[in-house]
């Protein structure tokens, strides 16, 4: 199976998001045909080792997928914490259960002022971070004590995968002030990501 090209993703990142989109940096796979969500199971995966937050976020993201015509399923219904710990295993388990697509969301970084975070770069938190991964827990990002400062900015990374072909189709990074309601933020970003993918010809 062809390996996912995390380093190539970072090198090819381009600013293609429209002015109204929260995604100021997006990337899409070159020469890939548009994918339809219609009637297809699509896993909503939020990378967190805090089960309550993970479940609530994944349910919200799955609802947004279903609203766009897909069959959104919360990742926790198919993957336990052990299955989620490493991307290759997680994707293999989803494929075995007949899930062809996945929308993966994670908190990717924080700063108090200008934040520059790009998919595939940096040392991410969690068990499977690093340049190749784009995978790992973001809980220490969400609840660092420094977040009491109002100027704190957080980055949320969203990636869309074709699991059958083991391909990353789209990635985007959004930056926002630290939210009071993480689930509401993630729901909104998932909705915007799906709209952005339609606009960029990744989805139809």
The answer on pLDDT for 186 being more than 80 is yes
Rounded distance between C-alpha atoms, residue 34 and residue 15, angstroms: 20
Nearest to 5 by CA among 116, 169, 125, 196: 169
Mean pLDDT, residues 162-184: 92
What pLDDT was estimated at residue 165? Answer: 92
Which position has the higher pLDDT, 141 or 99?
99
pTM to 2 decimal places:
0.77
* 204 assigned to some structural domain: no
* 38 assigned to some structural domain: yes
Given a contact cutoff of 8 angstroms between Cβ atoms, the answer to whether 58 and 44 are in contact is yes
Task: Read off the pLDDT of residues 34-55 as tens digits, 9 standing for 90 and up.
Answer: 999 999 999 999 999 889 999 9
Q: How many domains does the chain contain in total?
A: 1
What pLDDT was estimated at residue 156? Answer: 94
Q: Which domain holds residue 53?
A: 6-199
N- to C-terminal Cα distance for the chain? 26
Given a contact cutoff of 8 angstroms between Cβ atoms, the answer to whether 173 and 155 are in contact is yes
Q: For the chain, give the mean pLDDT.
A: 79
Task: Read off the pLDDT of residues 127-153 as tens digits, 9 standing for 90 and up.
Answer: 334 333 466 655 445 544 444 445 678
Q: What angle do CA 135, 177, 203 make, to 5 degrees?
A: 50
Predicted confidence band of residue 157 (pLDDT cuts 50, 70, 90): very high
* 1 assigned to some structural domain: no
Task: Read off the pLDDT of residues 12-29 as tens digits, 9 standing for 90 and up.
Answer: 444 444 446 798 789 999
Mean pLDDT, residues 96-104: 98
**CATH at 109:** 3.30.160
* 101 assigned to some structural domain: yes
The answer on pLDDT for 87 being more than 50 is yes
* 18 assigned to some structural domain: yes
* 167 assigned to some structural domain: yes
Nearest to 58 by CA among 36, 16, 34, 90: 90
């Amino acid at each position: 199976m062809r390996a996912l090209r995390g380093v190539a993703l970072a090198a090819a990142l381009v600013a293609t998001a429209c002015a109204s989109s929260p995604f100021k940096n997006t990337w899409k796979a070159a020469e890939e045909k548009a994918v339809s969500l219609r009637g297809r199971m699509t896993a909503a995966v939020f990378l967190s080792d805090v089960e309550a937050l993970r479940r609530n976020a994944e349910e919200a993201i799955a609802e947004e997928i279903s609203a766009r015509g897909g069959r959104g399923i919360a990742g926790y219904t198919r993957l336990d914490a052990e299955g989620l710990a490493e991307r290759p295993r997680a994707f293999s388990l989803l494929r075995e259960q007949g899930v062809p697509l996945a929308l993966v969301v994670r908190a990717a970084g924080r700063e108090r002022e200008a934040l520059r975070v790009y998919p595939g770069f940096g040392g991410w938190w969690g068990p499977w971070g690093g340049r190749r991964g784009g995978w790992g827990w973001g809980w220490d990002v969400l609840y660092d004590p420094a977040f009491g400062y109002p100027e704190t900015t957080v980055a949320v990374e969203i990636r869309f995968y074709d699991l059958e072909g083991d391909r990353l189709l789209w990635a985007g990074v959004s930056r926002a002030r630290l939210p009071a309601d993480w689930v509401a933020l993630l729901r909104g970003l998932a909705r915007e990501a799906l709209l952005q993918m339609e606009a960029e010809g990744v989805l139809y």
